[in-house]
Every structure is written in structure tokens, then in C-alpha cells.
Chain A
Amino acid sequence: MFRHLGMKALLAFTLLFFAFIYVPIALIVVYSFNADPVNMMRWSGFTLDWYRQIFGLRNAASEAALYIETTEQLLAAVKNSFIVAFSTTALSTVLGTSAAMALYRHPFAGQRFYRVLLFVPMLMPDIVLGIALLIFFVGAGAQLGLGTIITGQTTFLTSYVFIVVSARLAGMDRSLEQASADLGASEWTTFRRILLPQLMPGILGGALLAFIISMDDLVITYFISGTNTQTLPIYIFGMLRRGIKPEVNALAVMMLVFSFAIAFAGLYLRNRKR
């Protein structure tokens, strides 16, 4: 009897747990279509105006309430975010994958050092890496901007790729590689035909993770982006500090949709690979 009640309570608690995670997200989605320009949480009809406003389209509210600073500013931030995310993903995927392969294939003396080195950025609070990079870049006379953001993000994204690819390597069947070598395949052929195809899901997974984290990074980018270069998270952070406008709602919802779409794509890829 009591056990039964306990089970019910546990189930109710778990449902509340999920409600806590998802009700806020549902709220913002619903209210991003709210027509009220003054109070975003008082429902006064359905509108797509805030979405239109983001893209700089004309809408009913634009005469009465011109909120958004400039669409160009937002689009520039989006563009910067994509430039940074693609560059850092490419760089960190190459660096992280080569590090993982080196540590897996060749036993050598400094392995422990490399493992620690590649774990450091993950265990370090973001803000510490952010300010260390700021001091370094300013001291080196670098112009803060896209270049410094890409370099700075790559230092910690490499670790993420390294960990994902290493996990894949650890679970791989080495006998295939040996068989290929025994059958007379050259090292390059073995790498291309045997190792790389097996490793690909790990590399893709690592790259996807790096891409998502890069798009979302706020703390480290905040310190090394300088005053003239904004990425999307920095732009939103600035908007929140200046005062909230209904367009942010719509923008937030579009970002949620985008990141969830990537997550779903990743899941789909993983399931298909099995």
C-alpha cells in the first residue's frame, strides 16, 4: 500500500521535473506570437510581427513601436557566429582527431601529459580561460575580433573533439587493421579504407558538438571579441542588459528551433550508424 503510494509520488515528482524543464520553453514559444507590444506576458492576440521585425519586414506595429535597433546589427552577429562556428569546428576537428589518433596508435612517454593537457580546458572555469586569453592577445598586440574569437574557442573545442574521437577509437576493433596490414595493404590504404570509415561517426559527432558549443559560447567569446565584433549570444546578452523587447522572444524561439534541429539531426545520424 505504502509502496504503491511511494511509486505514484515518484512518478508525479518526475513529471514535475520535466515540467520544470519544458514549461518555460513552451511559454516563450507561445508568447513569441503575442501581439501586446508593451507587456510580453499579457496575451492580447496572435501576431507574427516580431518575427517579421527580425527580418526587417514591414509590420503593423512598426509605426507605433519601433523596437529593434537595426536588423543589420543582428544579421551581422548571426553571420559572425556562423563564420566562427565553421572555422573553429574545422580547426578543432583536425587538431582533436590527430591528437586522439596519436595517443591511441603510438605508445610514447608523454602520453599522460597530453591527456592532462587536453582535459585542462574542460575542467577550467570558462572565465579563467577567457581572461587568460584576453591578457595574452592584448599583450601580443593582436586586434580583438573574429581571429581572436576563432583561436580562443579552438583551444577548448579541441578537447571536446579529442574526447569524443578517443571514445570511438577505444571501442574500435583493431584486428581489422592488423588483417589489412597482413594482407599487404599499405599504411595509407589501411588508414583510408579501414580506420577512417570506422572512425567517421566519432569525428562527425565531435565536429557537431564543437559546432553547437561554438555557436553558444558566451563567456570566452565575451572577453576576446573586442568592441566591434559581436556573435549572436553576445548580441542577445547585450540586448538583455539594455532592456527587453518583444523581438528577443521571436529571436530566442528561432534559436531554440535551430539548436533542437541540430540535436535531432545528430541523434538521427547516430541511430542510423548503428
Chain B
Amino acid sequence: MSTLRSRKRQQLALLLGPVTLFLGVFLLLPLAIMVVYSFLMPGLYGGVEWSYYPHNYGRILGFADPEFEVFDPVYLSIFARSVKIALITVALTLLVCYPAAFQIAALPDRWKNFALFLITLPFFASLIVRLFIWVLILRPTGFINLTLEELGLIDAPLDLLYTEGAVILGMVYIYIPFMFLPLYASVEKLDWTLIRASQDLGAGPFDTFRRIILPLTLPGIAGGCIIVFIPALGNFIVPAVLGGAKSMMLGNLIEQQFLAARNWPFGSALAMLVMAVVLLLLYFAIRQERADPAGSGRA
């Protein structure tokens, strides 16, 4: 018996040892170091001074280092803009995917599978390629402007590229599969007899939607929103390719601190801010699910 147990333990160690070591060294340790860095003083020429320095956070939150600078709310406004762009992205993807999910759920099986395949297919295509397509479409000599000019609708090209609108459009485009799949999972599970019952009992379409459809699909909506919001908030590729100076987001700021300004502690503090928002969001999501494990079954 004891040999069996020790063999089991041996097996377990063999299976878990490498992954524990790997993730311990290359995931947990780097994250821990990043947390430490965010509290260190930036060195004069890059690098760090090993002394406690809370003003990295202060530069963002309002207590800047009195020796070097006055508090500048520019970082807070970039943070606010990032949250705003991420929220608009979430709202638009939801708006686009929700009706489509109902239509696709109602299709015959063969078409349904084909439609689902078409929606997941872009996920396999290179992200940078999909964003590049929008550069070609939006730029002054791009598809939209050329078409409008040819039709005689405009005289000079419109400023479409390098705007906040372009960033949002790009985000919506790449995050559609992220929103659609969780949404679809709960739309497909919808019990249509409940909807018919509600109609039979005299509820109007709006009441049926608000009291039956919406609560039943809420888990999918929440899931999709979180899955889109998290990568959208810290994204730096989309604003780097489609955005301009006025649509800078947290991700661009972090990249700048790491690769151009070489202020790693400040960059780490910014990354911690992104993490804090994400963790807060996940905490509420998990608590919600715990409180209502059946996924909002009460209509």
C-alpha cells in the first residue's frame, strides 16, 4: 500500500515538477519582480535605484515627487480614455453580436455550424494583418475616401485614420469572436417555451425581452463583456497602428516607458494599474457567479 502511494507521489512529481518549475521561474517570479519594480526609484539613465519610492504611483494618482515635478493629470486622462475606449468597444461588439446570435441560433444545423465557423475563422488569422486591412481602408488615399471622391460626395479626403474612431473600429473588428461565442452559448440554451408562455400570458415583446430573454442571456452578456474588456483596456497594438497622438492609451504609455523613456518603475506602476482593474473586474464576476451559480435562473 505504501509503495503504491509513494509511486503515485513519484508520478505526480514527475508530471508536475517541470511545469511548476517553469511557471514558477518564468511567470510568478517575473510578476513578483514587476511588483517590486513599481515601488523602486527610477535610475537617472534607465535602470533602478534600490530604494522605496511610492511616487511612481503618485505620478498617476496625484502625489507626484515634490523634488522633480508637479502633479500632471495627463496620466489620469490617458487612463480615463483607455477605460472609455474599452467600454465603447464592449458596448459596440455587444450591440453587433447580440442580434446576430439570435439569428444564427435559429438557423438549421448545417447553416448554424457554417456560420459559427465563419465567425471563429478570423481568430486564426494574424491580428496585425487584420488591422493592416483597416489602414488601407481608412487612410486618406484608402478605399473609403477614394470611393467617396469618385462618387463626388467629398472634395478632400476625410480624416478617418489615426483617430479614436479608427481605434474603436479596429478593436470591434478584432474582438467580435470574443464577444460572440460566450453570447451565443447562452442564447442557444434559451428555453423558447418560456418566451412563448410569456407571450401567451399577454406580455408585449419589450416585457418578454426585459423579463425573460435578457435575464436568461445575462451570463453570456457578462462573460463576453469581460473577455472583451480585459484585452481592450491594455491594448497597445490597435492604437499604435490605427490611432494618433490624441488616442494614446495605457498600453502605448507603458510601451513608451519601457522602450523609449526607459523609466521601468513608472511603466511597472502603470501595468499594475491595468492589473488592478482586471482583478477587480474578475473579483466581481466570480462573486456574482458564486451568488447565483445557476446563471441567473430566476426570471
Contact = CB atoms under 8 A, between A and B. Distances in A.
Interface of A: 10-11, 13-14, 17-18, 20-22, 24-25, 27-28, 31, 39-42, 94-96, 98-99, 101-102, 105-106, 108, 114, 117-118, 120-121, 123-129, 131-136, 139, 151-152, 154-155, 158, 212, 215-216, 218-219, 223, 232-233, 236-237, 240-241, 244, 248-249, 252, 255-256, 259-260, 262-263, 267
A40 B236 CA distance: 26
Query: Binding site of B, secondary structure by majority: helix, strand, loop or mixed?
Result: helix
B288 interface: no
B255 interface: yes
19 contacts: A24-B133, A27-B143, A39-B146, A41-B141, A95-B19, A99-B16, A117-B23, A117-B27, A128-B275, A131-B267, A132-B33, A158-B22, A223-B258, A240-B135, A244-B132, A249-B136, A259-B124, A259-B125, A260-B125
B267 A240 contact: no
Interface in B109-162: 115, 117-122, 124-137, 141-143, 146
Given A120-B27, A131-B267, A95 B230 contact: no
Contacts of B131: 240
Contacts of B1: none
B118 A22 contact: yes
Nearest to A27: B143
Interface residues of B, number: 75
B87 interface: no
Given A21-B173, A25-B133, 13 more contacts: A14-B99, A14-B103, A21-B119, A39-B141, A99-B15, A99-B16, A120-B27, A125-B231, A128-B271, A216-B128, A237-B237, A260-B121, A260-B124
A125 B143 contact: no
A44 B92 CA distance: 36
Interface string B77-97: 000000000000000000011
Contacts of A27: 133, 136-137, 143
B133 A41 contact: no
Nearest to A98: B15
A94 B22 CA distance: 12
A267 B123 CA distance: 14
A218 B22 CA distance: 22
A135 B268 CA distance: 9
Contacts of A22: 118
Contact of B240 (A31, A241, A259): A241
B16 A127 contact: no
Most buried by B among A120, A135, A154: A135
Contact of B18 (A20, A98, A240): A98
Contact of A102 (B12, B118, B259, B274): B12
B103 A13 contact: yes
Contacts of B26: 133, 136, 151-152, 154-155
Given A128-B274, A212-B124, A218-B237, A11 B103 contact: yes
Contact of A233 (B8, B128, B271): B128
A241 B256 CA distance: 15
Interface of B: 8, 11-12, 14-16, 18-19, 22-23, 26-31, 33-34, 37, 96-97, 99-100, 102-104, 115, 117-122, 124-137, 141-143, 146, 173, 176, 230-231, 233-237, 240-241, 251, 254-255, 258-259, 264, 267-268, 271, 274-275, 278, 282
A133 B100 CA distance: 39
Contact of B132 (A94, A117, A252): A252
B96 A20 contact: yes
Contacts of A25: 122, 125, 130, 133
A24 B136 CA distance: 9
B96 A125 contact: no
Contact of B102 (A10, A31, A129, A263): A10
A132 B25 CA distance: 12
A127 B135 contact: no
B278 A125 contact: yes
A127 B132 CA distance: 20
A273 B41 CA distance: 57
A162 to B, nearest CB: 8
A135 B33 CA distance: 8
A42 B146 contact: yes
Nearest to B103: A14
Contacts of A134: 258
Contact of B127 (A216, A248, A260): A216
